[in-house]
């Protein structure tokens, strides 16, 4: 019961964090909620529709499939690259479309980025984790999914890895993911504003690299707690940078993008 309670508490904490971020951003911007929804829809379309379709059609080994080590490694690499390519290109398309209709302003980019990041956090960190908790509480229900033996083993291992520590891991990983998604969105905005395609490629590669620990766990190359420790260390570094350079970063962004929709 304690495992379920703590992990449920972690999911509720993620929801509270999301609401607080939206409220805080709305305090500084009178613009509406449209950018949030555009960001959320962009994540669903590019990350949850196009990317899985591409990986399925391309024929690379996917998590849960019976494959050799070499095939799994290739599948892992391509999955990470595909995640970076589809997600960052999708953001770029949305930002480019916005720039055609008018200047990219800081408030719109921030809301779009937060909407994108929170949609990922809700779908993967809350709904996805809730599904695992359901299977944790009712292991026999996994047998009704109709999975083959390899995929079933992967699902069972994921469920078995849920502990009290998973609650902490969930919050750490999702907070890190939100910060990274927002940062990469602004990098994409720079690619649009400066018309530098290399910045988009940089965002793709950074995204792919950050996905490696999570993908390694999904493909069975890395234990869950090892991957989460990596993300915890990265989060500490990111928070330290924001603490030391946060004001300078915000000032730089305000210089690069118009503040027409921001309150003083």
User: What does the pLDDT read at residue 31?
Assistant: 63
- Compute the distance between CA of residue 244 and CA of residue 239 in angstroms, rounded to an integer: 9
With both helix axes pointing from N to C terminus, report the angle between 34-42 and 106-120 in degrees, rounded to the nearest 10: 50
What number of other Cβ atoms are within 10 A of residue 214's Cβ? 21
- Note the pTM of the prediction, 2 decimals: 0.93
Residue-wise pLDDT for 49-102, tens only, equals 999 999 989 999 888 787 899 999 999 999 999 999 999 999 999 999 999 877
In a domain, 261, yes or no: no
Residue 244 lies in a domain: yes
Residue 262 has pLDDT above 70, yes or no: no
125-165: per-residue pLDDT in tens? Answer: 999 999 999 999 988 888 887 777 777 887 888 888 899 99
Residue numbers of the domain that contains 137? 2-256
3-class DSSP assignment, residue 105: strand
Average pLDDT over residues 188-196: 93
Which pLDDT value is given to residue 36? 96
Instruction: Quote the radius of gyration of the chain (alpha carbons, Å).
Output: 19
What pLDDT does 32 receive? 83
* Band (27; pLDDT cuts 50, 70, 90): confident
> How many angstroms separate the Cα of 211 from the Cα of each of 45, 81, 192, 222?
19, 9, 24, 13
Is residue 113 one of the residues assigned to a domain? yes
- Does the pLDDT at position 258 exceed 80? no
Please check whether residue 262 lies inside any domain of the structure: no
Identify whether 124 is part of a domain: yes
Helix/strand/coil percent split, the chain, to 5: 85, 0, 15
Residue 263 covered by a domain = no
Residue 50, helix vs strand vs coil? helix
Q: Is residue 137 part of a domain?
A: yes
Number of domains the chain contains: 1
Quick one: pLDDT at residue 259?
Answer: 56
């Amino acid at each position: 019961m304690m495992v379920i309670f703590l992990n449920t508490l972690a999911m509720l904490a993620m929801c509270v964090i999301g609401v607080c971020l939206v409220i805080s951003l709305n305090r500084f911007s009178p613009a509406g909620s449209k950018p949030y929804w555009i960001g959320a829809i962009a994540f669903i379309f590019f990350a949850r529709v196009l990317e899985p379709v591409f990986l399925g059609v391309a024929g690379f080994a996917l998590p849960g499939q019976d494959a050799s080590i070499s095939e799994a490694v290739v599948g892992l690499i391509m999955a990470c690259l595909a995640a970076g390519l589809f997600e960052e290109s999708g953001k770029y398309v949305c930002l480019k479309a916005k720039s055609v209709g008018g200047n990219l302003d800081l408030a719109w980019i921030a809301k779009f980025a937060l909407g994108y990041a929170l949609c990922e956090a809700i779908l993967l960190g809350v709904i996805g984790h809730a599904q695992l908790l359901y299977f944790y509480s009712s292991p026999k229900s996994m047998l009704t999914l109709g999975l083959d033996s390899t995929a079933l083993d992967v699902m069972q291992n994921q469920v078995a890895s849920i502990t009290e520590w998973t609650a902490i891991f969930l919050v750490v990983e999702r907070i890190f993911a939100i910060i990274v998604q927002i940062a990469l969105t602004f990098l994409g905005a720079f690619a649009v504003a400066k018309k530098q395609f290399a910045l988009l490629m940089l965002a793709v590669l950074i995204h792919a690299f950050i996905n490696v620990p999570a993908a390694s766990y999904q493909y069975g190359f890395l234990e869950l707690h090892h991957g989460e420790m990596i993300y915890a260390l990265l989060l500490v570094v990111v928070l330290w940078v924001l603490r030391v350079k946060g004001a300078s970063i915000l000032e730089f962004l305000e210089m690069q993008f118009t503040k027409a929709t921001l309150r003083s």
